[in-house]
Structure 1
Amino acid sequence: MTKVIGKIDGQDVTAITLTGQTGVTAKVLTWGARLAELWVPDRDGVYADIVLGHDSAADWQATPAYFGATCGRFANRIAGGRFLLDGQAVQLDCNEGANHLHGGRAGFDRKHWSIVAQGADHVTLAASSPAGEMGYPGSLRMTCRYRLDNKDRLWIEMEARTDAPTLVNLVNHAYFNMAGQGSGQVMGQELRLWADAVTPVGPGRIPSGKVAPVAGSAFDFLALRAIGAALPDETGFDHNFCLSAPSEPAAGEALRPCALAVDPESGRRMKLWTNMPGIQFYTAGHLADGLPGKDGAIYGPFAGFALETQRWPDAPNHPGFPSARLDPGETYRHVMLFSFAPES
C-alpha cells in the first residue's frame, strides 16, 4: 500500500506499507529511503511501533536527527572531511564542525528515492549521486530494498555501483525503542553485542586508530545487560564496535549475528545479523529535549538507540581498518536481517 504524505522541495513523499505473514508491518518513505514505522509483538501479542520518527513531511524535512534514514555516501565520520584516494587528496563537505558526517549536509538521507519495484511485502528504492556531490569522486547508483520474509523477518539490502574509484559506506539509521516509540528512555532495556573490541575515539568522536578490548569496561556487552548499567560518559554511547562472531549462511547470505535488544517488561526483542565488520551503537544522548515525534510523542535524550552496521568510521585514514573503497565493476552490498520473536 502506498500513500503520499506530503511534499518536500515540491516533490511527493510517498509512504509504502509492507505487510508480513503474522502481523509484523513496516512503513518505508521515499524521502531518504527511511524506515518510518516498524510494528512488532510483545510476549502477549501486543504490537508496538519500535522506531522513532515523525508524522508529517514537514517534520521529516526539519528533523535534526537521521531517523530511519539510509545515510551515505560515507556514513559516520571522516576527520576533516579529507582522505587520499590513489594519491589524490579529496576534500568532502564538513557538516559536523571540522568533520564530515553521514555524507555531508546533502547526504543520501536528504534525497528523494524512486520506487523501482514493490509488492505487499517488499519495496526497492533507487537513487543516484553525481561525481563531485559533497566532494566525492565518481558517480554512484544505489538501491535500498526492504522486505519481510515468510518468517516476518525484516531484510534491509543496500547496493551501489560506481564509474570511478570512490568510497561507499551506507547505513540504516533507525532509532529503536523496544517498549515502543515515545515510551521514554531506553536505559533500562537490555543489549548484547557480538563484539569483543571497540575503536576508541578522541575529539569530535574521531577514531584514534587503535582497537581496544571491551572486556571489563563500559563497552562490554558480550553478555546481555542493561544499556544504562555503565556509560563511557554522560552522553552515553556513540562508538563503533568491532564485530567478532563468524559469518553463518542465512538464506544465501554470509551473515554474522551482531546485536540482541530486549525490553524486559514487555518481552519484546530484536536480533540483528549483518555482513559488515562493525556496528555503531548510539544511545541518542544528543537528541534535543522536546523534539516532536509520532502520534503526539515528545522525544529527548536516550529516547531510542541506533544500531548502524557499517565499515569502521574514518576508514580511509586508517590503513588497518576494513576498506570502504569501491571500484568500477564491483558491487557494494550491505545486508541487515532483523528477527522479532518475543521472549516468552
Structure 2
Amino acid sequence: MKSRNLFIALVLATLAVACNQKPAEQLICGSLKEADFKATIAGKETGLYELKNGELTMAVTNYGGRIVSLLVPGKNGEMADVVLGFPSIDAYLNAKEVFHGALIGRVGNRIAKGKFTLNDVEYTLPINNDPNHLHGGPEGFHNVVWDVKAVNDTSIVLSYLSKDGEMGYPGNVTVEVTYTLTPENEVKMAYKATTDKSTPVNLTNHAFFNLKGEANGTINDHLLTINADKFTAVDSTLIPFGENVPVEGTPFDFREAKAIGADLALQSENEQLQNGLGYDHNFALNKTADGEMSWAATVVEPASGRKMEIFTKEPGIQFYGGNFMDGADTGKYGKTFDFRESFALETQHFPDSPNQPAFPSIILNPGETYSTASIYRFSVADTQ
C-alpha cells in the first residue's frame, strides 16, 4: 500500500510540475519570437506571420507590411536568411534605416522638392530626403499597421486605407498587397489599389538582400545582370534630368553578368556614381509590351550558388548598392548592417514621375484599378 501511495504521489507531483511549466515559445524562421512583434501602434495591433512553401520560409509583420526574414537554401542545402531585418517591433521603431523590408507607398522613390501638380492643383508633400520627398514620406506605407485580411501557410493578404490628404496626397486610396510563396521557390508580390480622386500611386517592396545571409559580408562580389539598355541619369539629389540614357560604355552596363563592385573604382571619375555615392539608380527595363510580366534582373552569390531572379510587370527597377549603410543598425542575428553589405532591387515606375512628362504615368483615376506584380525566384546556380 505504501509503495502504491508513493507511486501516486510521484505521478501527481510530476503532473503538477508539468502543469506549471510554460510551453516553449514557438520560433518563427528559427530565431524570431512572436511575442517580440506584438505591439499596439496608433491603436492597431501588430504581429508576426510565418509562410512556408517549396524550400522557402518567410516571416512577415503587418507593421509596414515588412518581410522580416527569408530563409533560402544554397548549393549544399545550407540555409541562409537573405533579407535584412530586426528581432522586434521596438527594433524597427528605433532603426536608423526606416525602410527595411517594407511596403512602400503611396509613391516609391523621390518626388522633387515634395511638389507636383495634378489637374491644375499643386500638392505639397513632406520633405524626408532633403530637399526631396522619398518613399511616401515619413508616415508612408512603411510606417503604418496594415490589416491582415487573410493568411494561410503560403500567403498573406494585407490591406490599408490611405485617407485623403495623408502625407499630402489626394484621394482615399484602398490598397491590397498579397505575398505568396509558390512551390517553385518564388516570392510573389501582387499589388492592387483603387481611389476616389486622381492621385499618383507607385508601390514596391524595399527588402535589402545579401545572398550570403544577413550581415555576412560584402555584396560587391555578387554577380548582377539587369535586363536594361538604359538607366535614369540623376542630379546630385537623385532627381532625374528627364531622360533615360544608354548603359553602354558606362559602369551601369549590367546586360552581361558582372560583380556589383567591378566598376565602383570609377566613382571618382563618373558623375552618376558620384551622385548616387555608388549605385542608387533606376534602370528602364527592356519590354516588348507595357505591363507584361518579364525578366528584370538576376543576382548570383558565387560561393553558395544562391540565385535570385526577378520578374515584374513594372517598367523599371531601382538598384541600390547599400551605400548609406554605416553600421548604425544591428539586425536579428546581433550583427551590424555595414557599408555595401546589402542591396535592394525595387521594381517600380520611374523616379519623380509626376514631374516628368516623358516618363510613364503613375496617376490612378477613379474607376480604375492599379494592378501590378513582381516575382523573386530563388534557385541554385551552376557555379562550376
- Given the two structures, how large is their TM-score scaled by the length of structure 2? 0.85
Q: 3-state DSSP class of the match of 2:242?
A: coil
Cα distance between partner residues in 1 of 2:327 and 2:59: 25
Structure 1 residue 143, shift from structure 2 partner: 1.0
Where do 1:176-325 residues align within 5 Å?
176-231=209-264, 232-233=273-274, 235-246=277-288, 254-325=292-363
1:247 and 1:256 in contact (8 A); partners too: no
The answer to whether structure 1 residue 153 and structure 2 residue 186 are counterparts is yes
- Segment drifting more, 56-65 vs 314-323: 56-65
* Higher percent of residues as helix: 2
The letter of the residue matching 1:240 is: N
Structure 1 residue 260, shift from structure 2 partner: 0.1
The answer to whether structure 1 residue 105 and structure 2 residue 110 are counterparts is no
Structure 1 residue 162, shift from structure 2 partner: 0.4
Q: 3-state DSSP class of the match of 1:254?
A: coil
2:161 and 2:173 in contact (8 A); partners too: yes
2:82 aligns with one of 50, 73, 76: 50
Structure 1 residue 221, shift from structure 2 partner: 0.3
Q: 3-state DSSP class of the match of 2:179?
A: strand
Cα distance between partner residues in 1 of 2:132 and 2:93: 22
Cα distance between partner residues in 1 of 2:53 and 2:71: 10
Identity %: 37
Structure 1 residue 203, shift from structure 2 partner: 2.4
Cα distance between partner residues in 2 of 1:121 and 1:337: 15
Pair member with larger Rg = 2
What is aligned with 1:33?
Answer: 65
Number of aligned residues? 339
1:133 aligns with one of 166, 170, 194: 166
Structure 1 residue 204, shift from structure 2 partner: 0.9
The letter of the residue matching 2:279 is: F
Q: 3-state DSSP class of the match of 2:354?
A: helix
Cα distance between partner residues in 2 of 1:74 and 1:339: 25
Q: 3-state DSSP class of the match of 1:316?
A: helix
Query: What RMSD over aligned residues (CA atoms) do the two structures have, in Å?
Result: 1.7
What is aligned with 1:116?
Answer: 149
The gaps in structure 1 that reach 5 residues or longer are: none
Cα distance between partner residues in 1 of 2:175 and 2:316: 21
The letter of the residue matching 1:63 is: A
Cα distance between partner residues in 1 of 2:149 and 2:349: 27
The letter of the residue matching 1:37 is: S
Show CA shifts across 1:163-199 (max 9, x none). 1100000110000101111101211111000011011
1:8 and 1:57 in contact (8 A); partners too: no
2:208 and 2:344 in contact (8 A); partners too: yes
The letter of the residue matching 2:110 is: R
Q: 3-state DSSP class of the match of 2:380?
A: coil
2:215 and 2:338 in contact (8 A); partners too: no
Structure 1 residue 254, shift from structure 2 partner: 3.3
2:110 and 2:135 in contact (8 A); partners too: yes
1:247 and 1:255 in contact (8 A); partners too: no
Cα distance between partner residues in 1 of 2:94 and 2:82: 21
Cα distance between partner residues in 1 of 2:332 and 2:256: 32
Q: 3-state DSSP class of the match of 1:295?
A: coil
Structure 1 residue 247, shift from structure 2 partner: 5.7
1:8 and 1:58 in contact (8 A); partners too: no
- Segment drifting more, 89-98 vs 233-242: 233-242
What is aligned with 1:166?
Answer: 199
Show CA shifts across 1:263-305 (max 9, x none). 0111011000000001000011111224211111111111200
* Higher percent of residues as strand: 1
Structure 1 residue 16, shift from structure 2 partner: 0.8
Cα distance between partner residues in 2 of 1:319 and 1:290: 38
2:287 and 2:315 in contact (8 A); partners too: no
The letter of the residue matching 1:58 is: D
Q: 3-state DSSP class of the match of 2:243?
A: coil
The gaps in structure 2 that reach 5 residues or longer are: 1-25, 29-33, 265-272
What is aligned with 1:330?
Answer: 368
The answer to whether structure 1 residue 95 and structure 2 residue 125 are counterparts is no
Structure 1 residue 150, shift from structure 2 partner: 2.2
1:190 and 1:224 in contact (8 A); partners too: yes
